[in-house]
Amino acid sequence: MKNKKSFLFLAVLMIATLAFSQHKKHQTKKAGANTANEFMHQSSTEDLIKRFESAERDAYQKPEVVLQYLGDLNNKKIMDIGAGSGYFSVKLAEKGAKVIAADVSDEFQSALKERIEKNKLKNIEIRKIPFDSPGLSDQEVDMVLIVNTYHHIEDRSAYFIKVKNGIKETGELVVIDFFKSSLPVGPPTDHKISIDVVIAELKEAGYTSFELTVDLLPYQYIIKAK
């Protein structure tokens, strides 16, 4: 009887420890995303747009190299999550893609709407999305692109299940973000998400195929997931 009670106690303890671990993991993800968001919004939207659209960003982001890596984009429907000022959205549309420029920020969306109207840009739809969802219909797009934004998302495994549902069976998710190390650009190191964590979280979300590129950009990795 004593052994049986000891066994039951250990089983309950293990379950409680696992539950606490999962809770702490969720809280850590949430806290990290909140911290990253707070850090970014220490700057005004106007200053952020200047930074996002700067020649300094062009130098490390190498947009033409990225677009070439993505392949033929003509007539593909692509959601750009965290579109911000439209840095990639505009370039994707110029390559013939039908772009959904998605962001949680009213300020960014207003600025991008003004940019689209002023420059008579075509093939770009702006879409305000909530913090916890990409706002996609089932199998709505051929690709979801998320650049320098992954670390801003809370409860990422749950979020990217919704992303996966919004991508066609033949489509893919492309994540571009900063290496988790001290760099001259990007957020503080503790805000960045390492490659192994991204892949682990995407596996939790149901992605099974990964293509990792670490030598195309100087400060960022690229992960293609299906």
Find the CATH number of the domain harbouring 108. Answer: 3.40.50.150
CA distances to 19, 34, 104 from 153, rounded to whole Å, are: 22, 8, 11
* Residue-level pLDDT at 31: 46
If one counts the domains in the chain, the total is 1
pTM, whole model, 2 decimals?
0.81
Residue in this structure with the two tokens 């490390």, named with its chain if needed: 60
146 Rama sector, left if φ>0, alpha if ψ -120 to 50, beta otherwise: beta
Per-residue pLDDT of the chain (226 residues; tens, 9 = 90+): 544 444 443 443 344 334 334 434 444 444 455 554 454 545 678 888 888 899 999 999 999 999 999 999 999 999 999 999 999 999 999 999 999 999 999 999 999 999 999 999 999 999 999 999 999 999 999 999 999 999 999 999 999 999 999 999 999 999 999 999 999 999 999 999 999 999 999 999 999 999 999 999 999 999 999 9
Structural domain harbouring 94:
2-225
* Residue-level pLDDT at 33: 52
Tell me the two tokens of residue 171. Answer: 């489509």
Closest CA to 161 of 138, 187, 145, 180: 138
* Residue-level pLDDT at 47: 87
